[in-house]
């Protein structure tokens, strides 16, 4: 055996961790490195790159990269391609192939391919506890000899084998054995396996055809060798059945109970995201409000103060407030995935969703859209088919998210009195439910249309492992949640921040000296001694300033365009400012109508009910309210979502198509609704 | 010609060959090799997809994909 020479002199070894999905690779990675992780991007693609560090007992630093899960080095998705390319690069000193001990045959396929690249390799027999429990015996020495590399058995739960793994990484070897057919060298195999794998990324049609043939033959050949190795090294128990999973699946994939359990799971997730998350969210908002108040009081009044408080801090608050929902959603997704339940959801939903150009794996991201589109779009990564993933991302924002809730609440309360129908149903509640249904119908209908439009050479398939049920590991999921929150804060945060500052500028600055004139007009009245309505006057001044600001002028500019929908320039301002986030609508309306308490929906409502149009009739009648409701249901009024869509699709085209489609749909629907009523 | 999608729950067969280009590599990589024993374990509530047991683990696939797996008579 030839010993590799990792850069021990630098005291840092670069390790690639790879394995099949469900090999327990990420759990192992999280157990090994804990929170010493950095999440970045692989150059040119949107696949997350997770790098963590740990130290061996000799003080050698190991820099471990967790590669995306892959079944082979013949990639079939973007994730698999990334994993393959990293291995071919020169940055990796040692490759650690993680395998599921109780499902060794299939997992060894990848291991033999990586060994054939002639790079230093270590094979990990992961989840050795499960193999033990099944009564499966693996002869490690013999397996190590046949593969020609070092082998270590580990258990991520008890950390058994961790120290051994770390200590043998420095002595990883390049195997002298080969696992592809070298007996009758042909045009391809004569060049060596690494060369074959490298050349598959060149766009050469002629080569591709030869390669396709080779890949199939090679895989069959490898399995023949693996069957031989398996027979030599693994002793199977008499009957290795996983009774628990079988029994659980009788219920979980049952025609009636299956869907019932799914509904129950979704219900619990929503309870958490809607109601439990509200407490930390309110706490964050209050803290920011307190902080903003203090900052504005401490710093001298002026432009800088205003920018800092109403631009930067307000923007920051709008980002941080999402953290509880994002963390909770990823906690649940993590639990559902690690336990093996998610695979069953895909299994029972695939047929329904396939008709709409989606995949069984689209269910959770789409339904989570009711909480917030941002984490849901990130959650669509589990879909390997490009077209199905793209459609999922494009339709998610049509689901009515939690930010629409305050807008819906305000508008519905303007439109209908507190009335019960049939004695038990609250009319408001029914309209609210209708809004959510409207969103869901639009989501599926749009997916169906996109299915006909989006072209892909990739064939839609659903070949997915149903892993056995496992107890999720909290620590590993915790590490993932922290990572996701960090990515959101940084990636989406910078865009939200920038737009918040632009919106701040537009709504707090006006052309010429209009602002000064307004201030002069009010200053005398405000400074009159014994003036009881001082607060009221300040509110009025703010309202007039907003009207004179660039945002106000924009609102008036777009008035002709939104007039057919029943909106005036005041709503126009709210539409512009709430582009940042839908819930800003309520706050803006509060400012425009100089309501006393912008946090309190009731006070805004009272002002709006009193608002009259030119003919003296109430301005906010059913037609205007319904028109606005429909507009907010469909319009892409959320820059965080756009930022995430851009990041996930890496395509300005699709981001803009989605924006214009949703805005167009909102406009047309509002127009129809306003004119029908 | 007997294919995998025709099996009933609990029935087993041995793979003879894979037809259809494109998908066969994925199926082979997942362990669906000629000579392997295969047992149908589940059919999704709406009749599709199905789940099979092969070389000690469970794999789900659509009926369309299963129809490319030819079984021994």
Nearest by CB to A106, which of B34, B45, B57?
B57
Q: Which of A136, A259, A460, A463 has the most B C-beta neighbours within 10 Å, making it the best mutation to test the interface with B?
A: A463
B contacts of A246 (beta carbons < 8 Å)? 41
Q: At what angle do helices A534-548 and A584-592 cross, to 10 degrees?
A: 110
DSSP sequence for A208-232: HHHHHHHHHHHHHHHHHHHHHHHHH
Do A351 and B44 count as a contact with CB atoms less than 8 A apart?
A: yes
Q: Would you put residue A203 in left (φ > 0), alpha (ψ -120 to 50) or beta?
A: beta
Query: What confidence score (pLDDT) does residue A596 get?
Result: 46
| Tens digits of residue pLDDT in A127-180 | 999 888 888 899 999 999 999 999 999 998 888 999 999 989 988 889 988 898
Q: Which of A102, A223, A467 has the most B C-beta neighbours within 10 Å, making it the best mutation to test the interface with B?
A: A223
Cα–Cα distance for residue pair A644/A636, rounded to 1 Å: 13
Q: Which CATH number belongs to the domain containing residue B11 in this structure?
A: 2.30.30.90
B contacts of A354 (beta carbons < 8 Å)? 62
A45 contacts: CB under 8 Å, gap ≥ 6? A78, A82, A650
Per the model's pLDDT, the better-predicted residue between A266 and A137 turns out to be A137
pLDDT category at A72 given cuts 50, 70, 90 is very high
Residue A614 has pLDDT above 80, yes or no: no
Which range, of A228-237, A314-323, B48-57, averages the lowest pLDDT? A314-323
The answer to whether residue A106 is domain-embedded is: yes
Torsion of CA A263, A269, A271, A274, to 10 degrees: -120
Do A465 and B60 count as a contact with CB atoms less than 8 A apart?
A: yes
Strand order from edge to edge, sheet including B69-71: A463-465, B57-61, B50-54, B37-43, B12-18, B69-71
| Tens digits of residue pLDDT in A168-213 | 998 888 998 889 888 877 777 788 888 888 888 887 788 888 888 8
Residue of A nearest to B21 (CA): A212
Residue A599 has pLDDT above 60, yes or no: no
Residue B64 has pLDDT above 80, yes or no: yes
Count structural domains, chain B. Answer: 1
How crowded is the C-beta side of A563, counted as CA atoms within 13 Å?
7
Do A351 and B28 count as a contact with CB atoms less than 8 A apart?
A: no
Residue A125 has pLDDT above 80, yes or no: yes
Task: Determine contact, residues A386/A78, Cβ cutoff 8 Å.
Answer: yes
Q: What are the backbone angles phi and psi of residue B50, rounded to the nearest 5°?
A: -120, 165
What is the pLDDT averaged over residues A3-18?
69
Distances (CA, A) of A479 to A29, A39, A324, A537: 10, 11, 15, 51
Residue of A nearest to B66 (CA): A463
Task: Determine contact, residues A64/A52, Cβ cutoff 8 Å.
Answer: yes
Do A253 and B44 count as a contact with CB atoms less than 8 A apart?
A: yes
The answer to whether residue A31 is domain-embedded is: yes
What is the pLDDT averaged over residues B11-34?
87
Strands A150-153 and A463-465: unpaired
Residue of B nearest to A457 (CA): B22
Do A343 and B49 count as a contact with CB atoms less than 8 A apart?
A: no
Is residue A578 helix, strand or coil?
coil
Q: Which CATH number belongs to the domain containing residue A12 in this structure?
A: 3.40.50.300
**Longest distance between any two alpha carbons in chain A, whole Å:** 103
The secondary element (H helix, E strand) that includes residue A173 is: strand A173-174
Count structural domains, chain A. Answer: 1
A contacts of B27 (beta carbons < 8 Å)? 463
pLDDT category at A410 given cuts 50, 70, 90 is confident
The answer to whether residue A464 is domain-embedded is: no
The answer to whether residue A202 is domain-embedded is: yes
Query: What confidence score (pLDDT) does residue A605 get?
Result: 73
B contacts of A466 (beta carbons < 8 Å)? 51, 58-60
A454 burial type by CB count under 10 A (0-12 exposed, 13-18 middle, 19+ buried): middle
Beta-carbon pairs below 8 A across chains A and B: 104
Residue A485: closest CA among A593, A331, A595: A331
| Tens digits of residue pLDDT in A486-536 | 877 776 677 667 777 787 788 778 887 777 778 787 777 777 666 667 777
The answer to whether residue A636 is domain-embedded is: no
pLDDT category at A242 given cuts 50, 70, 90 is low
State the residue range of the domain holding B56. Answer: 4-71
Residue of B nearest to A345 (CA): B44
> Is A454 an interface residue toward B (CB < 8 Å)?
no
What is the pLDDT averaged over residues A315-335?
80
Residue A440 has pLDDT above 50, yes or no: yes
A contacts of B58 (beta carbons < 8 Å)? 245, 465-468
Residue A229 has pLDDT above 90, yes or no: yes
The answer to whether residue A439 is domain-embedded is: no
Residue A1 has pLDDT above 50, yes or no: no
The secondary element (H helix, E strand) that includes residue A94 is: strand A94-100
> ipTM, 2 decimals?
0.94
Query: What confidence score (pLDDT) does residue A418 get?
Result: 61
Which range, of A235-244, A501-510, A562-571, B60-69, averages the lowest pLDDT? A235-244
State the residue range of the domain holding A18. Answer: 2-235
Selection from A59-63, A122-126, A171-175, A303-307 with the highest mean pLDDT? A122-126
Query: What confidence score (pLDDT) does residue A420 get?
Result: 59
**Longest distance between any two alpha carbons in chain B, whole Å:** 30
Residue A381: closest CA among A328, A342, A439: A342
Residue of B nearest to A256 (CA): B45
Which residues 173-232 in chain A show a CB within 8 A of chain B? 212, 215-216, 219-220, 223
> Is A146 an interface residue toward B (CB < 8 Å)?
no
> Is A348 an interface residue toward B (CB < 8 Å)?
yes
| Tens digits of residue pLDDT in A365-393 | 888 787 778 878 877 876 778 889 999 99
Selection from A115-119, A275-279, A637-641 with the highest mean pLDDT? A115-119
Smallest CA–CA distance, residue B42 to chain A, in Å, is: 8
DSSP sequence for A15-30: EEEEE-TTSSHHHHHH
Quote the pTM value.
0.79
A586 contacts: CB under 8 Å, gap ≥ 6? A406, A407, A410, A598, A601, A604
């Amino acid at each position: 055996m030839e010993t590799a020479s990792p850069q021990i002199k630098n005291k840092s070894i670069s390790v690639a961790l790879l394995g099949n999905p469900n090999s327990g690779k990420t759990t192992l990675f999280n157990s090994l490195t804990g929170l010493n992780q950095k999440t970045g991007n692989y150059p040119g693609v949107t696949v997350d790159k997770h790098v963590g560090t740990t130290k061996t007992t000799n003080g050698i630093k190991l820099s471990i990269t967790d590669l995306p899960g892959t079944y082979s080095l013949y990639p079939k998705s973007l994730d698999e391609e990334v994993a393959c390319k990293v291995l071919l690069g020169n940055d990796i000193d040692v490759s650690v192939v993680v395998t599921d001990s109780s499902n060794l045959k299939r997992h060894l396929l990848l291991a033999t391919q990586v060994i054939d690249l002639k790079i230093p390799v270590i094979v990990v027999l992961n989840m050795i506890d499960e193999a033990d429990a099944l009564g499966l015996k693996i002869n490690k020495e013999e397996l190590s000899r046949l593969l020609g590399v070092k082998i270590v058995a580990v258990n991520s739960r008890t950390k058994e084998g961790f120290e051994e793994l770390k200590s043998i990484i420095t002595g990883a070897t390049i195997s002298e054995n080969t696992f592809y057919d070298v007996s009758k060298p042909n045009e391809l195999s004569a060049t060596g396996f690494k060369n074959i794998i490298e050349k598959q990324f060149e766009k050469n049609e002629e080569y591709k055809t030869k390669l396709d043939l080779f890949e199939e033959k090679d895989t069959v050949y490898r399995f023949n060798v693996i069957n031989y190795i398996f027979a030599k090294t693994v002793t199977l128990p008499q009957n290795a059945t996983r009774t628990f999973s079988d029994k659980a699946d009788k219920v979980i994939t049952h025609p009636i109970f299956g869907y019932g359990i799914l509904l129950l799971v979704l219900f619990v997730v929503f309870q958490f995201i809607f109601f439990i998350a509200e407490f930390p969210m309110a706490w964050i908002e209050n803290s920011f409000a307190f902080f903003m108040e203090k900052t504005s009081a401490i710093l001298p009044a002026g432009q800088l103060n205003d920018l800092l408080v109403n631009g930067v801090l307000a923007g920051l608050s709008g980002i941080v407030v999402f953290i509880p929902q994002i963390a909770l959603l990823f906690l649940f997704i993590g639990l559902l995935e690690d336990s093996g339940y998610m695979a069953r959801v895909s299994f029972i939903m695939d047929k329904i969703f396939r008709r709409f150009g989606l995949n069984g794996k689209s269910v959770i991201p789409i339904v989570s859209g009711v909480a917030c589109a941002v984490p849901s779009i990130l959650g669509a990564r589990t879909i390997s088919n490009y077209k199905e993933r793209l459609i999922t991302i494009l339709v998610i924002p049509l689901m009515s998210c939690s930010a629409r809730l305050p807008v819906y609440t305000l508008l519905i309360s303007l439109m209908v009195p507190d009335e019960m129908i049939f004695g038990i149903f609250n009319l408001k509640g029914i309209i609210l439910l209708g809004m959510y249904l409207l969103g869901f119908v639009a989501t599926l209908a749009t997916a169906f249309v996109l299915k006909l439009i989006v072209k892909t050479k990739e064939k839609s398939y659903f070949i997915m492992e149903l892993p056995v049920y496992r107890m999720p590991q909290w620590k590993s999921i915790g590490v993932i949640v922290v990572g996701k929150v960090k990515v959101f804060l940084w990636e989406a945060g910078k865009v939200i921040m920038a737009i918040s500052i632009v919106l701040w500028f537009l709504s707090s600055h006006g052309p010429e000296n209009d602002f000064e004139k307004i201030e002069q007009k009010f200053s005398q009245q405000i400074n009159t001694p014994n003036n009881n309505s001082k607060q009221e006057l300040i509110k009025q001044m703010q309202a007039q300033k907003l009207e004179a600001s660039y945002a106000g002028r924009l609102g008036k500019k777009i008035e002709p365009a939104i007039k057919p929908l029943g909106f005036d320039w005041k709503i126009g301002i709210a539409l512009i400012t709430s582009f940042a986030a839908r819930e800003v609508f309520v706050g803006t309306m509060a400012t425009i109508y100089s309501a006393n308490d912008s946090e309190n929906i009731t006070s805004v409502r009272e002002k709006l009910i009193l608002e009259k149009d030119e003919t003296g009739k109430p301005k906010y009648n059913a037609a205007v309210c319904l028109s606005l409701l429909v507009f907010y249901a469909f319009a892409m009024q959320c820059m965080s979502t756009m930022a995430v869509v851009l990041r996930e699709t890496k395509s300005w085209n699709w981001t803009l198509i989605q924006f214009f489609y949703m805005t167009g749909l909102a406009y047309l629907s509002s127009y129809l609704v306003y004119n029908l009523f | 010609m007997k294919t995998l999608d025709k099996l009933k729950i609990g029935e087993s067969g041995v793979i003879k060959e894979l037809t259809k280009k494109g998908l066969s590599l994925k199926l082979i990589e997942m362990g669906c090799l000629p000579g392997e024993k295969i047992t149908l374990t589940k059919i999704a509530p709406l009749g599709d997809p199905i789940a099979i047991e092969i070389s000690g683990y469970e794999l789900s696939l659509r009926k369309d994909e299963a129809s490319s797996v030819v079984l021994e008579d």
